[in-house]
């Protein structure tokens, strides 16, 4: 799995959501259009595992949280950046999504939850914030940020 091959897998998702409001309707649409048991979701998930094993994805961090920006915002990704994080039983640092955040949750440990949610898509509206939390094991989370925007809270 190369970065360009990974880009080709993620680009259709980004194009599908381009220009749509980031809300519960979009979350439901992603779970219908790219269901957790469907081919594109599974292909992206396999690609994440292969890229981590190859050493070019999730190169930053420590044993409990490895992460990295894969692609900066660009036209071919409808203005989204793409990041992947590999988290095991951790409450992360608080941040705000000025333009929203779209998460693809891929539990590695079957019972693992990201922000209380299992396998599938989670959409945070613009202006929302959270402490990204994985419970009950390990999960990979791919997240798309409109314009690559994220604001880390000073209080952590």
Query: Is the pLDDT confidence value at 89 over 90?
Result: yes
Longest distance between any two alpha carbons in the chain, whole Å = 40
pLDDT per residue over 31-78, tens digit each?
999 999 999 999 999 999 999 999 999 999 998 899 999 999 999 999
pLDDT per residue over 90-125, tens digit each?
998 899 999 999 999 999 999 999 999 999 999 999
Phi, psi of 18 (to 5 degrees): -55, 130
> Of all helices (H) and strands (E), which one includes residue 122?
strand 120-124
Q: Residue 155 has what pLDDT?
A: 57
Q: Is 75 exposed, middle or buried (0-12, 13-18, 19+ CB in 10 A)?
A: exposed
Q: Residue 76 has what pLDDT?
A: 96
**Sign (positive or negative) of CA dihedral 22, 24, 25, 28:** positive
Please report which confidence band the pLDDT of residue 153 belongs to, taking 50, 70 and 90 as the band edges: confident
The partner residues of 113 in beta bridges, in order of sequence, read 135
- pTM beyond 0.75: the answer is yes
How many structural domains does the chain have?
1
Q: Residue 93 has what pLDDT?
A: 87
- CATH number of the domain where residue 13 is located: 2.60.120.10
DSSP 33: H
Parent domain of 91:
3-152
């Amino acid at each position: 799995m190369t970065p360009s091959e990974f880009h080709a897998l993620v680009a259709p998702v980004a194009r599908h959501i381009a220009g749509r409001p980031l809300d519960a309707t979009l979350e439901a649409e992603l779970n219908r259009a790219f269901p957790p048991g469907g081919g594109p979701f599974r292909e992206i998930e396999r690609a994440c595992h292969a890229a981590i094993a190859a050493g070019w994805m999730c190169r930053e961090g420590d044993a409990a949280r490895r992460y990295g920006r894969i692609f900066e915002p660009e036209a071919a990704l409808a203005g989204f950046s793409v990041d992947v994080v590999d988290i095991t039983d951790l409450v992360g640092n608080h941040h705000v999504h000025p333009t929203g955040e779209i998460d693809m949750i891929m539990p590695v440990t079957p019972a693992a939850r990201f922000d209380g949610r299992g396998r599938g898509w989670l959409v945070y509206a613009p202006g929302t914030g959270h402490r990204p939390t994985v419970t009950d094991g390990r999960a990979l989370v791919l997240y798309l940020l409109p314009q690559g925007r994220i604001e880390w809270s000073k209080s952590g």
